[in-house]
Amino acid sequence: MTAAMVRAVATRDSEVLVRVADPIDVFSARWAAQRIATAIGFASAARQEIAIVVSELATNILKYGVRGDIAMHRVDDAALGAGLELIAFDDGPPLTDLAMAIQDGCGDGGPIDPARQLGRGGIGSGLGAIIRLSDLFEYRPGPGRKAFRAVRFVRRPRRPGASP
């Protein structure tokens, strides 16, 4: 078996697309991400952080996009090394205000009234958590389906302002 063949097989094994249309799919997505993350070589705590990112992406699909998919695959960056890329697509309308939505305690429509936070099924910090626990974050409003892309590297690059 040549090296090229080995690589092709590895790429196929580490590429997954998970459909998210039901609350149980949040778990399936997390489960799939755990398998890939383990294969890539993420440590236990990092895998839990990835699981949180996947959960937030999947929960957002269910909440705002109704249904969608999460694509997961290994990336090998020349400078940053191995990592896991997660791209969540959904059919919902694009965000009206990204800057607002990524603020903690805010939904797409603005700050969440603390009195209404109970029973809302969230605390308005999903996107914030995704950004904090990922090394790269990108929002693509379209054309076509909107997408959130998050990449986490095995060796986290130092981010400005982050504590050591």
Residues found near other proteins in the complex (CB under 8 A): 23-24, 26-28, 30-31, 44-45, 48-49, 51-52, 55-56, 59, 104, 117-126, 128-129, 132-133, 163
Q: What is the closest distance, in whole angstroms, from the C-beta atom of residue 38 to other proteins in the complex? A: 15
Q: Name which of 6 and 43 has its Cβ closer to other proteins.
A: 43
Q: What is the closest distance, in whole angstroms, from the C-beta atom of residue 56 to other proteins in the complex? A: 6
Tell whether the torsion through CA atoms of 4, 7, 13 and 15 is positive or negative: negative
Q: Name which of 121 and 143 has its Cβ closer to other proteins.
A: 121
Q: What is the closest distance, in whole angstroms, from the C-beta atom of residue 55 to other proteins in the complex? A: 4
Cβ burial of 107 (10 Å; 0-12, 13-18, 19+) is: middle
Distances (CA, A) of 160 to 37, 62, 147, 153: 25, 32, 25, 16
Is it true that the peptide bond before 143 is cis, omega within 30 degrees of 0? yes
Q: Name which of 7 and 120 has its Cβ closer to other proteins.
A: 120
